[in-house]
């Protein structure tokens, strides 16, 4: 299934067997999203959280 990228308007391909929490990315701009699968099979994208390095500070 193709879902519109929130950053550039490109197409983000979400596999038909995707599960909630799976990370997908836009092939055009590289933005990463977390797929959220609704109870009726709807797919929404929310921005994937970026985990930064913890340098012990």
Q: 2 falls in which pLDDT band (50, 70, 90)?
A: very high
Q: Convert the pLDDT of each residue in 3-16 to its tens digit.
A: 999 999 999 999 98
Q: Convert the pLDDT of each residue in 21-38 to its tens digit.
A: 999 999 999 999 999 998
Q: 41 falls in which pLDDT band (50, 70, 90)?
A: confident
* Residue tagged 């994208």 (tokens): 45
Reported as type and span, the H/E element at residue 12 is: strand 11-13
The residue extents of the domains of the chain are 2-47
Q: Tell me the pTM.
A: 0.75
Question: Considering only CA atoms, which of 38, 36, 28, 37 is closest in space to residue 5?
Answer: 28
């Amino acid at each position: 299934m193709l879902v519109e990228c929130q950053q550039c308007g490109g197409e983000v391909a979400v596999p038909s067997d995707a599960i909630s929490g799976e990370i997908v990315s836009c092939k055009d701009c590289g933005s990463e999203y977390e797929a959220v699968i609704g109870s009726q099979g709807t797919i929404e994208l929310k921005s994937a959280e970026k985990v930064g390095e913890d340098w012990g500070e």
